[in-house]
Chains A and B, each alone.
Chain A
Amino acid sequence: MKTYTNTGSKDTRSGFGAGLTELGKTNENVVALCADLIGSLKMDDFKANHPERFFQVGIAEANMIGLAAGMTIGGKIPFTGTFANFSTGRVYDQIRQSVAYSDKNVKICASHAGLTLGEDGATHQILEDIGLMKMLPGMIVINPCDYNQTKAATIAIAEHQGPVYLRFGRPKVANFTSEDQKFEIGKALQLTEGTDITIVATGHLVWEALEAAKTLEAKGISVEVINIHTIKPLDSKAIIDSVTKTGCIVTAEEHNYLGGLGESVSRVLAQHKPTPQEFVATNDTFGESGTPAQLMDKYGLNAEAIVKASETVLKRK
């Protein structure tokens, strides 16, 4: 089995910040807006280097989304930055009407997604954002797996004409994809080749999936791990091709199982290739305070949970 090395854990939000810094140098049409969370979103460099293209909007997310929509008129490419909860649920109607329905080229960049922002608790831990965003017609939904991929995705979405939701997080997670990768929206990445089970994961659960694959391989189970960094549009072909070989699948995400990656995969399989599937996701619940590791464990979002789900689904083949 192909193995991957963590070159040093980093937070994916810093990958976003690094990507934005790069865009500041290479694309003069990129502008950035932030709702009083510059440090948390790692937008400091962009602000320092391009003060004329940076807009501090204060604690007013609805206004930020409208401003961003307006800034596309005149040719700018706005990147908005705040926490995932305030990037989606708080401003859903603004995104729906002023951005998605209006076909505006806005990049909604959301940090602190999921449980793993930790101690702040459920008010800040959104587990519904992927569902909210993927339901909007025309919205691209991206959830990269590590620092390097988040940086690459940030740079790539500036080239895409249309609204994008880019989701990343606060904790330091394994950084294992290549530094010079080219990010292709909508293209699933097969990380390991296997014949017994497919594990498709998104976000930092891709690393957990690779860890789970090691454990399963040691038990003689051949695992195909696929990194689904783009939840919409979903790379249906990659998923169908893989389960045609393996005959069962586990999906893994830091999100409610309702509305998440798992349900998108289920739809594809139900239509094209009915396949036993187990879900590693939160079970229709809010989060709570705790350390990221404690929360991943309690809510069943780590390698151990993926191994368990894999063993269950293998019995259903």
Chain B
Amino acid sequence: MSNTQQLEDLTTQVRRDILRMVHKVNSGHPGGSLGCAEFFVALYTNIMDRKEGFDMDGKEEDVFFLSNGHISPVFYSVLARSGYFPVEELNTFRLINSRLQGHPTTHEDLPGIRIASGSLGQGMSVALGAAQVKKLNNDSHLIYSLHGDGELQEGQNWEAIMYASGNNVDNLICTIDLNGQQIDGATDDVLPMGSIKGKFEAFGWTVVEIEEGNNIEAILNGMAIAKSKTGQGKPVCVLLKTVMGNGVDFMMHTHAWHGKAPNDEQLATGLAQNAETLGDY
């Protein structure tokens, strides 16, 4: 267990990694990555019960699936800084012959990745399958997953959401990154989804809301509540309210940085706002 300061230091470093990764190749998705930096750091450092090393089957440990694969920069940074592969490898993000593909994949055998994601809406089904197998294997560990709010527009999610409650898959915590933004603008403008909380509850899920999704303490408290709700016959959903681009002022509260890299000057500004805490790769 790390203390809050350590987690915040790690988050700052992860933000630097994200900015530098996408800047180097002038491509990638910084906005959503920055918005979920605190969540990933808290998840991999304090929340999940993980084993040393990487084993695809993930038996007797908590397992995480990223459904909105485009936020690969934050995933890669946190995986590297959690020891799954050398942090220097972040230098190869999106380059030819790299294990760090634009979107996460198992295809290049990158430790820490258990499913390819990028084409949206598929991760919840995968997480559910893994959760049901945990039960078959008498493994009491949990499955965690992360999904974008815009991603919920994909119909497969609702097949999965219906299935999860219908089959009492209660060893699963699906977190929705509620940043209210997608490529073409605000989710409410692109395709209004109404109350996501109301929808999950209507489908028989337990919903936990984390109002300050970029606050480490709030995430730890909220996820602890979510964990306490598992094992009660219902799937658990966490609505994590985040700010896209968090930690880099000109990237915040806008969808403009969904899939756009900073230029040299913007990179310098972003890095100046996030001190090098643990050492750049």
> Which residues in A have some Cβ–Cβ distance to B below 8 Å?
31, 52-53, 55, 57-58, 60, 62-76, 78, 93-94, 96-98, 101-104
Cα(A56)–Cα(B110), bound, Å: 33
| Cβ-closest chain B residue relative to A94 | B122
Please provide the 3 A-B residue pairs with the shortest distance between their CB atoms, ordered closest to farther.
A66-B125, A70-B129, A74-B133
Besides A63-B160, A70-B125, A98-B125, 7 new A-B residue pairs in contact (Cβ under 8 A), listed by A number:
A62-B156, A63-B125, A67-B163, A70-B65, A97-B117, A102-B107, A103-B106
- Contact of A101 with B58 in the complex, beta carbons under 8 Å: no
B156, closest chain A residue (CB): A62
Is B116 part of the binding interface, using a Cβ–Cβ cutoff of 8 Å?
A: yes
Sample (18) of A-B pairs whose CB atoms are under 8 Å apart:
A58-B159, A58-B162, A60-B162, A62-B155, A62-B156, A62-B159, A63-B125, A66-B160, A69-B115, A69-B129, A70-B126, A70-B128, A70-B130, A71-B133, A94-B122, A94-B125, A97-B117, A101-B107
B234 at the interface (CB under 8 A from A): no
Residue of A nearest to B115 (CB): A102
Report the bound CA distance from A58 to B116 in whole Å.
25
State whether A55 touches B132 (Cβ < 8 A): yes
Partner of A66, one of B105, B106, B128, B136: B128
The answer, yes or no, to whether B232 is at the interface (CB within 8 Å) is: no
- In the complex, which residues of chain B have a beta carbon less than 8 angstroms from the beta carbon of A76? 133, 136
- Given A97-B116, A101-B107; A73-B63 close (CB under 8 Å): yes
Q: Let me know if B105 and A102 touch, CB within 8 A.
A: yes
User: Do B163 and A73 touch (CB < 8 A)?
Assistant: no
Give Cα A132 to B11, complex, Å. Answer: 44
- Taken together as a complex, chains A and B put the C-alpha atoms of A309 and B51 apart, in Å, by 62
Q: Does B139 contact A (CB under 8 A)?
A: yes
Interface residue tally on B, bucketed by range:
35 or more
| A70 near B136: Cβ-Cβ < 8 Å | no
B57 close to chain A: CB less than 8 A? yes
B29 interface residue, CB < 8 Å from A? no
User: Interface code B52-93, partner A: CB below 8 Å = 1, 0 otherwise?
Assistant: 000011110001010000000000000000000000000000
Chain A neighbourhood of B124, CB < 8 A: 66
A102 touches which of B116, B131, B133, B156 (Cβ 8 Å): B116
Residues of B near A102 (CB, < 8 A) are 105-107, 115-116
Q: How far is the CA of A107 from the CA of B78 in the complex (A)?
A: 33
Chain A residue at minimum C-beta to C-beta distance from B114: A73
Could you tell me if B122 and A98 are in contact, using CB atoms closer than 8 angstroms?
yes
The interface residues of chain A lying within 8 Å CB-to-CB of B63 are 73
B142 at interface, CB cutoff 8 A: no
**CB of A58 to closest CB in B, whole Å:** 7
Check A67–B125 contact: CB distance below 8 A: yes
CB pair B156–A74 under 8 Å, yes or no, is no
Of B139, B163, B166, which contacts A74 at CB under 8 A? B139
Query: Could you say which residues of chain A place their CB within 8 Å of the CB of B65?
Result: 70
Q: How far is the CA of A71 from the CA of B143 in the complex (A)?
A: 12
Closest A residue by C-beta to B145:
A70
A97 close to B125 (CB less than 8 A): no
**A72 and B106 alpha carbons, distance in the complex (Å):** 13
Set of chain A residues within 8 Å of B114, measured between Cβ atoms: 73
Asked whether any CB of chain A lies closer than 8 Å to the CB of B127, the reply is: yes
B127 and A74 contact, CB distance less than 8 A? no
- Tell whether, in the assembled complex, residue B125 and residue A65 are in contact, meaning their CB atoms are under 8 Å apart: yes
Smallest CB separation, B48 vs chain A (Å): 15
B159→A60 contact, CB < 8 A:
yes
